[in-house]
Homo-oligomer: A and B are copies of this chain.
Amino acid sequence: MVKKRVTITDIAHEMGVTPSTVSRALAGNTRVGSNTRQRVLKVAAQMGYQPNVLASSLRSGRSDTIGMVVPRINRHFFSHVISGVEALLNPAGFNLLIIQTHEREEHERKAVHTLLRNRVAGIIISHSVETKGFSHYQMVIDEGVPLVQFDRVTEQIVGARIVNDNFLGALRSTQHLIKNGCKRIAHFAGALHVNVYQERLDGYRYALEKAGIEYDPSLVVENCIIQEAGQEAVARIVLPKKVDGIFAASDLSALGAIQKLKELNKAIPGDVKISGFANEPFAEMVEPTLTSVEQNAFEMGNQVAKAVIESIGKDEPVSEEIHIPVRLIQRRSSGSDALLMNSVV
């Protein structure tokens, strides 16, 4: 037995006024008798009235829902960004419609359409690894929906971009290895068409250059961001090439390397020094503890939310890029012990 939902018309009938009056009273700021407003509010409350935001949005053309597209929700980094976004968006009266792409370009395309169909007030996105074309964002631009990219971004799309300082993180990380005595440093990279991995490679190269170490492309392992890839790279590159340091673009591949090296009775940091990226929770639990670059995912989420809220209402998108500072956390895998070094941007 389903009770009918109560509408402003029901309230109006109950009180002997018109729906317009009720609507105005509920809206708050429009002109209506202050005693009538009180009565409306009281009757609405006791009738259990819940405004129909669908009808409201349809009529007003405004929506309080913001869409968010992420590769995967169940990743430490992304779930924390989401959390940071929500922390600011909810108090501001917005809700989050979240869609995962599972790193598939086609899913990303569909997700954007879904959000458009839901008439979201804005779209937040971090691109999937697969995504190389961005034509499906033309419609977002055309319809004037604010678009904020974070972490994995492209300059091919106008609008705000919130990114980690990948270059600086990589630079500091590699410099740290050099300072601790590494001469032949390998880099476990990701897919280089993705900005974050390209930037980390750039930072790595720049550190070598500044230290006068020649860049050796054969020491760069592409698509090496998962655990298994890290393990595999040890046998294929690290040992044969007599590598004494690894800067991994991902904590997972760094972990894989640690496991494999321990298995082969290599000493860490004695024989090989290692640093990762992202400062996953396990970094301080693994043996030896893993030096890593900390990303402030929650803060990134906050900035993303701020950017969306600012974009809404503005006519023209602003293509500003905001860098979230990163921090090198030195641990034992690189020969340091519980020291903290703050990198300055």
Known contacts A2-B144, A118-B54; A83/B90 CB under 8 A: no
Interface residue? A31 (CB, 8 A): no
Q: Is A109 an interface residue (CB 8 A)?
A: no
A156 to chain B, nearest CB (A): 19
Residues of chain A from 103 to 142 with CB closer than 8 A to chain B in the complex? 113-114, 116-119, 139, 142
Q: Does A5 interact with chain B (Cβ within 8 Å)? A: yes
A97 contacts B by Cβ under 8 Å: yes
Taken together as a complex, chains A and B put the C-alpha atoms of A57 and B54 apart, in Å, by 8
* Interface bracket on A: 35 or more
CB of B95 within 8 A of CB of A95, answer no
* Cα of A99 to Cα of B287 in the assembled complex, Å: 37
What secondary structure prevails in chain A residues at the interface with B? mixed
Residues of B within 8 A of A57 (CB): 54
Report yes or no: A73 in contact with B65, Cβ–Cβ below 8 A. no
The docked-state distance in angstroms from the alpha carbon of A48 to that of B116 is 11
Considering only residues 52-81 of chain A, those with a C-beta below 8 Å from chain B are 52-55, 57-58, 63, 65, 72-76, 79-80
Nearest CB of B to A103, in Å: 13
Residues of B within 8 A of A99 (CB): 86, 90, 95-96
Q: Which residues of B contact A282 (CB under 8 A)?
A: 281-282, 285
A213 at interface (Cβ–Cβ under 8 A)?
A: no
In the bound assembly, the distance between CA atoms of A270 and B292 in angstroms comes to 33
A5's contact among B58, B63, B143, by CB below 8 Å, is which?
B143
A50 within 8 A of B: yes
**Contact of B119 with A52 in the complex, beta carbons under 8 Å:** yes
A58 and B54 contact, CB distance less than 8 A: yes
